Amino acid sequence: MQDIDLLVQPRWLIPVQPEGLVLEHHAMAVRDGRIVAVLPADEAVRQYRPAQSVELPDHALLPGFVNLHTHAAMSLMRGLADDLPLMRWLNEHIWPAEAAAVSEAYVADGTRLACAEFIRSGQTCFNDMYFFPETAADVINETGMRAGLGLIVIDFPTVYASDADDYLHKALAAHDRLKGAPHIHPVLAPHGPYTVSDAPLRKLRAYANELGLPIHMHVHETADEVQGQLAATGQRPLERLEALDLLDSDFIAVHMTQLTDDEIARVARYGMHVAHCPQSNLKLASGFCPVAKLLDAGVNVGIGTDGAASNNDLDLLDEMRTAAMLAKAVAGQPSAVAAPRALTMATMGGARALGIADEIGSLEAGKAADFIAIDLSDISTQPVYNPIAQIVYSAARHQITDTFVGGRALMRRRQLLTVDGDAAVASAARWQETLRTFMAHDRRDTA
């Protein structure tokens, strides 16, 4: 018998690759944080001697969800300004609040609160875009999660940097500090076409090529963005980015609600990736990403929650359901984005976009043991005819009982093990008072 660290025995094992496959009464063997084998449970018991066994008789085991777009620290602004269009939401509420409150301490506490929610929602990896990325990295390492860490670039001054060159300098310094960290994957993160000018975007392309980093950017988020770029540059955003040589197979375009058929073909031709954030787009009335058309064109699509300030939660399981349902309505086809494809988007889609699909996104021998367990014995998911469909269309995040990253338990039986949830909530309450005070002063100043 071979000694291993962990043997997991669920009722159903869903490897995601091949898409739609469900294995019953199989087990997964883990050693040194990696998957050794996926095999029938009776064979596993004969072949392996585990230091720890996890038996999950009512559960489905699947890869951890990969949240392809979020702003983790903005969890502290959840519910701060609701029911507003994007630019009014940003200009009148979010950006002024950030100027008043954001600091390294704010980012640490906000990221910690988000990580607690991510873990409880079955997310093992997230792709972030926010200020003070090195501070966020410290928290991510502390919690044991995996992340694509955005090195943000904007033209205008914030509490983090003074101008585009300062952002770029800090991005490179953060990359140098973080490269080689096992769970941190730096990503260049220009905010959007309307907040970053041509010169820094050209520099970002050169850095991406030199350092081998993805680029993560809001693109074609709203009709106003597209019209604004046309008025300012004479080009639609994608057309401008193409002229700047920014588009390539390392580019992750977020939202993409305003696309022509020619633009979809362009996205496919460059091998770009799309981060689809359906609930944020719905809440801000930004539009509908043509997911089915993108998939039909061969484009890789992942799913993101966006930040809790615009969603207002970080529940990727629920986001996956919304993505599947909305795609059917937009395409006018009930077969568009079937349940297995939605699950692929929520796992392998994000992993491919971040360039780490050889490491995470599916349960296969040799990959990191990043996985979650969902209890399907709940009344709301009985009876179980098809576990994948049940997860996509019926399950809720309270049914996610276990979250592991690299073979390490971050949550067992719904108990957080690497984040103090009570302390995170207490910190959120303190920041709420800070923001409430700012908002009260701001209302008096503008009255």
Write the CATH number for 390.
Answer: 2.30.40.10
Query: Which tokens go with 428?
Result: 């959120």
309 and 388 inside one domain: no
* 33-73 pLDDT per residue, tens: 999 999 999 999 999 999 999 999 999 999 999 999 999 99
Q: Which pLDDT score, from 0 to 100, does residue 437 have?
A: 83
Say what the pTM is: 0.96
Neighbours of 24 (CB within 10 A): 11
CATH number for position 267: 3.20.20.140
| Pair 150, 129: CB distance under 8 Å | yes
**pLDDT (average), residues 219-232:** 96
Structural domain span for residue 24: 2-63+361-416
d(CA 80, CA 83): 10
Is 100 among the domain residues?
yes
Query: How far is CA 291 from each of CA 299, 303, 309, 331, rounded to the nearest angstrom?
Result: 9, 11, 24, 8
Query: Which tokens go with 25?
Result: 């009464």
| Pair 227, 184: CB distance under 8 Å | no
* 422-444 pLDDT per residue, tens: 999 999 999 999 888 877 665 54
**pLDDT (average), residues 394-398:** 98
Is 446 among the domain residues?
no
User: CB under 8 Å to 444, separation ≥6 — which residues?
Assistant: none
Look at residue 416 and tell me whether its pLDDT is greater than 90. yes
Give the mean pLDDT of the chain: 96
* 257-311 pLDDT per residue, tens: 999 999 999 999 999 999 999 999 999 999 999 999 999 999 999 999 999 999 9
Q: Give Cα 100 to chain centroid, integer Å.
A: 26
208 and 278 inside one domain: yes
Number of domains making up the chain = 2
96 and 128 inside one domain: yes
**99 confidence band (pLDDT: 50, 70, 90):** confident
Is 423 among the domain residues?
no
Look at residue 139 and tell me whether its pLDDT is greater than 80. yes
89 and 227 inside one domain: yes
d(CA 135, CA 152): 13
The one-character DSSP state at 368 is B
19 and 82 inside one domain: no
d(CA 244, CA 183): 31
Helical pair 421-446 and 104-120, crossing angle rounded to 10 deg: 130
76 and 59 inside one domain: no
CA diameter of the chain: 75
Is 106 among the domain residues?
yes
Question: Quick check: bond before 96 cis, omega within 30?
Answer: no
